[in-house]
Amino acid sequence: MPNLLDETSGLMAFVRTVETGSFTAAARDLRTTPSAVSKSVARLEKRIGTRLFLRSTRALTLTQDGQAFFERVAPLLRELDASDGAIRSQVAPSGRLRISMPGELAPLLLPRLFDTFAKNYPDLQLDVGLTDRFVNLVREDYDVALRVGTPMQEDLIVRRLADLPMAIVASPAFINTWGSPKSADDLVGLSFARYAMGGAAQPVRLADGTAFIPKGRVDCDTGMALIHAARSGLGAAYLLRCLVTDDLQVGTLVDLTPEIGLPKLPLSVLHAFGRTVPARVRLFCDFMAGEAKTLAGL
């Protein structure tokens, strides 16, 4: 591999083209022209001796070599871009903070994020994306992500914030029809509103390590949809207890497993900045650590 220390402009052009999807969009971000971005990438390709993109009049597609190169280079450039934040750590954080968080946790986290964090740091521009899937932080240009469960991406910095209790809940009408389970074996016979990813129902896991694929006629891909299905009596629902605290208090949903052990799921905050973390990301992580303790207690 040739020395690429003098190819910073080409590396930036390449990474921004991948992240934005086109030379034109990358040029807008870099405040230059599409022609200049294209030439920078072409020069980089010549320097390393391989094609990074397959070009046509309608599409720009990463090659296999281009994908591998991007996954190595993008985190390094992010860390370089963030290095000034470490030097100027006493300065109030500013700029864009792009956050991904699960949609199901948004009603619990966004009020405090907007009412407290955003007001404490008025120079920050918050860009919040809500999705229950695991986003690719580097490829999709997120600064930081909150995720429940085990992160799937490698080469990320993962800070575990809390372990969140799970619950299996159902409506009083459902219990009148199906009865209350007395054991783990009874759970297997219940009808569930199932959490599904990619069309596949996800297992219900117990504290002893056993698991089963629930049966049921309603599949949902968000926790909020599961809650509504459970309230309507369409099945039991296996989800984070913090999402149904109010329902359990007023009786619209009932805990089916007070005597059956369920595991806790980790809530983590993830970023790809390595050891050089921008102040805006560090402050967000610290803030969410405090909020996570509240969620764990619900």
Strand 191-197: give its sheet, edge to edge.
200-201, 191-197, 215-220
Q: pLDDT digit string (tens) for 122-175? A: 999 999 999 888 888 888 889 999 999 887 666 788 999 999 999 999 999 999
Q: Which helix (H) or strand (E) element contains residue 152?
A: none
Question: Residue 138 class from Cβ within 10 Å (0-12 exposed, 13-18 middle, 19+ buried)?
Answer: buried
Q: pLDDT digit string (tens) for 178-224? A: 999 988 889 999 999 999 988 899 999 999 889 999 999 999 988 99
Q: pLDDT digit string (tens) for 211-262? A: 999 999 999 988 999 999 999 999 999 999 999 999 999 999 999 988 888 9
> What is the length of the chain?
298
Please state whether the predicted TM-score (pTM) of the whole model is above 0.85.
no
Q: Which pLDDT does position 148 carry in this prediction?
A: 92
Q: Which pLDDT does position 153 carry in this prediction?
A: 66
Q: pLDDT digit string (tens) for 88-132? A: 555 678 889 999 999 999 999 999 999 999 999 999 999 999 988
Strand partners, 98: 127
Greater confidence, 40 or 154?
Answer: 40
**Amino acid in position 152:** M
**Amino acid in position 188:** V
For residue 86, name the pLDDT band (cuts at 50, 70, 90): low
Distance CA 238, CA 235 (A): 10
Q: pLDDT digit string (tens) for 57-77? A: 777 888 888 888 888 888 877
Domains belonging to the chain, first-starting first, are: 8-87 (1.10.10.10), 95-162+265-297 (3.40.190.10), 164-264 (3.40.190.10)
What value, to the nearest 5°, has the Cα angle with vertex 159 and ends 155 and 160? Answer: 125
> Token pair 């309507």 is at which residue?
232
Distance CA 107, CA 117 (A): 15
